[in-house]
A and B are shown apart, each in its own frame.
Chain A
Amino acid sequence: MNMLEVNNVSKIYGSLHALSEVNLTVEEGKWLSIMGPSGSGKTTLMNIIGCMDKPSLGSVILDGQDITQLSLPQLTEIRRDKIGLIFQQFHLVSYLTALENVMVAQYYHSMVDEKEALLALERVGLAARAKHLPRQLSGGEQQRVCIARALINYPKLILADEPTGNLDESNEAMVMNLLHQLHAEGSTIIVVTHSPEVSKHAQTTVVLEHGKVASIINN
């Protein structure tokens, strides 16, 4: 079964075609990388897949539902229920502890469960740092909190935007290892990246150039 179908999707800003008739399919439980240089449309595509933007043309079927037909509040609901987001810059709430940052995702999803949030932190190796504020954590640790937050609601799709972009080699390895664990447990993963090294971890790599799919590589 397909987790994601992107059909002839275009995103047009005036005369600029950020995406042009993009087609791709991701089966449930697969790992896809989206690669390309700056300005190739990677982030635009990620925003559309992540229900944070709508395409100008085409359709996107996520878990059997055409998300291009949904209103903004409905898209928020889909994002909350089905997608776990990981950002390059971590984006943790500065005044909340690591544990609370994970619990925020629970709060907006359904119910807060502190024990479960602590287990998620334990899984990324940060149980001991649960009460620390983001500024007291290293970049790698912050990204691991971000991963714990992304997986806390058991999303069907994990969408990671340059997850290792701000990390050193050892932290990169740790983060990729965590993504592998999630993938092994059946999560569908889409990683947007510049790095050919990171893209190699995926089963399939889609290369974007000038808003179009330039090539699809099966790793």
Chain B
Amino acid sequence: MFRRMLLSVLVRQKKKLFLIALTVALGVSLATAMLNVMFDVGDKVNQELKAYGANLNIVPKGAALVNELYQLDDKQDAIQYIKQDDLVKIKMIFWAYNIVDFAPYLTTQVMVNGKPVTLVGTWFNKHLTIPTGDEVDTGMLAMKSWWSIEGNTMKDDNLQGVMVGEAIAKQLNLKLGDSIELTSSTQKITLTVNNIFHSGGVEDNELYVSLPVAQNLANKVGLVERVEVSALTTPENDLARKAAQDPNSLSRTEWDTWYCTAYISSIAYQLEELMPDVRVKAIMQVAESEGSILQKTQLLMLLLTILSLICSALAISNLVTANVIERSTEIGLLKALGATNTSVAMLILTEILIIALLGGIVGYFIGLGFAQIIGQTVFGSFVEPKMIIVPLVLIMVSLITLLGSMPALRIMMFLRPTDVLHGR
């Protein structure tokens, strides 16, 4: 009979219950959209922040140690090198897929028109085959997306071309297509100006060539001086900060959590595990900015979610209360026929929960649509629906419905048959 009464009320009173379903659908759609964006915003913001460059710097262990011990500014005093062949290992760590880009650098001094100029060899957009079978394209151009570059894109196999910084180009009066003669301690070569770039930094006083060119001029074939890495990371928290200071201070559980989370410190640690001769330094300003922006964005989303749920609960409360008041005669009658408060409450709550659940399902799918609109509008990309939202939505629907129904249930509990059955 309970099922029959439930079905009857759902089928025959659907117009009255529609508003409750609609309210739940609206609340859940907003919450679903916000939660989906919140869970996805980490990757989105990370991707956006990758435009601001590397967040890890790989240097030879000896160079890092000596520089740190003696606080040497002149790198030449302690220079050591990383083997170029080791660089593929960067894409072989546990968090390989979080390494978005990396670029090696080898710096040497050359003379141009009798003036000393810094020449940097790098990968512009190098195609690599990793021993794991994966293939990647990586290099400096993707990591310096804010550079303004004039001329055709520099290729790694262009051994005659050079990218000239804006300041040095002005100083040497160089234009695209001009020839430039470089003299090192052992060689003299002539290159063609392929690009003139503006970086807004010290790089504007430098020349950039394909890595082999710089290695030949510096007589350092197969070696690089440092590597910049851009990695997608999880925002730093207390555990990450503790681990960054000393990973050995972590308990076994903390260690597992830290190691299996893409903290910048755990990525750095894993790189050092695979490349024992290097020291990986996190560029903390970038990492902390990422974490801070991400936390604030997520907090904003969470607040909006909570706000939308509170609004829904209030609206549901009003609607259910109105529904109970409207049905007070029916409730009084059921009580007069022998129904207990519990059985009437069960009937009303089940009705409301079923309606709320239907509203919640509709709201969930609308919310996925909202999330895509937000994703496309704000980040220009698809927001991946997260399965964890489904149980969260279920809990939310139950919670806001139960909370919203409390005032109505209270009214129902204190309703006496005599109050409603003798109105004449």
In the complex, are the beta carbons of A109 and B330 less than 8 A apart? no
In the complex, are the beta carbons of A80 and B338 less than 8 A apart? yes
In the complex, are the beta carbons of A105 and B337 less than 8 A apart? yes
Known contacts A91-B329, A94-B330; is-contact A85 B336 (Cβ 8 Å): yes
| Contact for A112 among B1, B343, B417, CB less than 8 A | B1
Known contacts A91-B333, A112-B1, A133-B12; is-contact A76 B340 (Cβ 8 Å): yes
In the complex, are the beta carbons of B1 and A104 less than 8 A apart? yes
In the complex, are the beta carbons of B424 and A104 less than 8 A apart? no
Check: B97 CB closer than 8 A to any chain A CB: no
In the complex, are the beta carbons of A96 and B418 less than 8 A apart? no
In the complex, are the beta carbons of A107 and B2 less than 8 A apart? yes
Q: Across the two chains, which residue of chain A brings its CB closest to B332?
A: A91
Check: A79 CB closer than 8 A to any chain B CB: yes
Known contacts A88-B424, A91-B329, A91-B421; is-contact A104 B343 (Cβ 8 Å): no
Known contacts A95-B13, A104-B5; is-contact A87 B338 (Cβ 8 Å): no
Q: Across the two chains, which residue of chain B brings its CB closest to A77?
A: B338
Q: Across the two chains, which residue of chain B brings its CB closest to A166?
A: B424
In the complex, are the beta carbons of A96 and B339 less than 8 A apart? no
Distance of A160 from chain B, by nearest CB (Å): 13
Distance of A29 from chain B, by nearest CB (Å): 23
The winner among A76, A79, A109, A165 for most chain B CB atoms within 10 A is: A76
Check: A161 CB closer than 8 A to any chain B CB: yes
Distance of A168 from chain B, by nearest CB (Å): 18
> What chain A residues lie within 8 Å of B83 (beta carbons)?
none
> What chain A residues lie within 8 Å of B339 (beta carbons)?
76, 108
Known contacts A53-B418, A93-B330, A112-B1; is-contact A100 B8 (Cβ 8 Å): yes
- The interface bits of chain A over 148-166 (1 if a CB of B lies within 8 angstroms of the residue's CB, else 0) are 0100000000000110010
> What band does the interface of chain A fall in when counting residues whose beta carbon is under 8 Å from B?
35 or more
The winner among B12, B332, B336, B340 for most chain A CB atoms within 10 A is: B336
Q: Across the two chains, which residue of chain B brings its CB closest to A103?
A: B1
> What band does the interface of chain B fall in when counting residues whose beta carbon is under 8 Å from A?
20 to 34
> What chain A residues lie within 8 Å of B329 (beta carbons)?
91
Known contacts A52-B336, A108-B339, A112-B1; is-contact A87 B8 (Cβ 8 Å): no
| Contact for A80 among B1, B8, B337, B424, CB less than 8 A | B337
Which chain A residues in 150-190 approach chain B with CB under 8 Å? 161-162, 165
Which chain B residues in 6-27 approach chain A with CB under 8 Å? 8-9, 12-13
Distance of B242 from chain A, by nearest CB (Å): 58
Check: A7 CB closer than 8 A to any chain B CB: no
In the complex, are the beta carbons of A95 and B334 less than 8 A apart? no
In the complex, are the beta carbons of B12 and A76 less than 8 A apart? no
Q: List 27 A-B contacts (CB under 8 A).
A: A47-B422, A50-B336, A53-B416, A53-B418, A76-B338, A76-B339, A76-B340, A77-B338, A79-B336, A85-B336, A88-B422, A88-B424, A89-B421, A89-B424, A91-B421, A93-B333, A103-B1, A103-B4, A105-B338, A107-B1, A107-B2, A108-B334, A108-B338, A109-B337, A112-B1, A149-B337, A165-B424
Known contacts A79-B336, A100-B4, A108-B343; is-contact A95 B423 (Cβ 8 Å): no
Distance of A159 from chain B, by nearest CB (Å): 10
Distance of B344 from chain A, by nearest CB (Å): 10
Which chain A residues in 49-99 approach chain B with CB under 8 Å? 50, 52-53, 73, 76-77, 79-81, 85, 87-89, 91, 93-97
In the complex, are the beta carbons of B421 and A109 less than 8 A apart? no
Q: Across the two chains, which residue of chain B brings its CB closest to A161?
A: B422
Q: Across the two chains, which residue of chain A brings its CB closest to B7?
A: A95
Distance of A139 from chain B, by nearest CB (Å): 14
Q: Across the two chains, which residue of chain A brings its CB closest to B11?
A: A95
- In order of increasing CB-CB distance, the 9 nearest A-B pairs are A80-B338, A107-B1, A108-B338, A95-B12, A112-B1, A91-B333, A47-B418, A52-B418, A95-B8
Q: Give the CA-CA distance A97 to B9 in the complex, in Å.
A: 11
Q: Across the two chains, which residue of chain B brings its CB closest to A133?
A: B12
> What chain B residues lie within 8 Å of A76 (beta carbons)?
335, 338-340
Q: Give the CA-CA distance A79 to B340 in the complex, in Å.
A: 12
Q: Give the CA-CA distance A79 to B334 in the complex, in Å.
A: 12
> What chain B residues lie within 8 Å of A107 (beta carbons)?
1-2, 5
Distance of A74 from chain B, by nearest CB (Å): 11
Q: Across the two chains, which residue of chain A brings its CB closest to B2?
A: A107
Distance of B192 from chain A, by nearest CB (Å): 86
- The interface bits of chain B over 77-103 (1 if a CB of A lies within 8 angstroms of the residue's CB, else 0) are 000000000000000000000000000
